[in-house]
Amino acid sequence: MLKQFKEFALRGNVLDMAVGIIIGAAFGRIVSSFVNDLLLPPLSLVAGKVDFSNLFITLAGDKATSLAAARAAGAVTLNYGLFVAAVVDFLLVALAVFLLVKQVNRWTPKPAPAPAPTSRECPYCLMIIPAAASRCPHCTSQLPG
**What are the domain boundaries of the chain?**
2-107, 118-145
pLDDT mean over 64-77? 80
Beta-carbon contacts of 123 under 8 Å, excluding residues fewer than 6 positions away, are 143, 144
Q: Residue 105: is its pLDDT beyond 80?
A: yes
* Whole-number pLDDT of residue 39: 79
* Whole-number pLDDT of residue 129: 92
CA atoms of 89 and 94, how far apart (whole Å): 9
pLDDT confidence of 12, banded at 50, 70, 90?
Answer: low
CA atoms of 78 and 67, how far apart (whole Å): 10
Contact assessment for residue 77 and residue 54, using Cβ atoms and an 8 Å cutoff: no
What pTM did the predictor assign?
0.54
Secondary structure of residue 119 in the 3-state scheme: strand
pLDDT confidence of 130, banded at 50, 70, 90?
Answer: very high
pLDDT confidence of 34, banded at 50, 70, 90?
Answer: confident
Q: Percent of the chain scored above 90 by pLDDT? A: 11
How does the average pLDDT of the chain come out, rounded?
A: 83
E-only strand ranges, the chain: 57-58, 77-78, 119-121, 128-130
Beta bridge partners of 119: 130
Answer yes or no: CATH 3.90.650.10 is held by domain 2-107. Answer: no
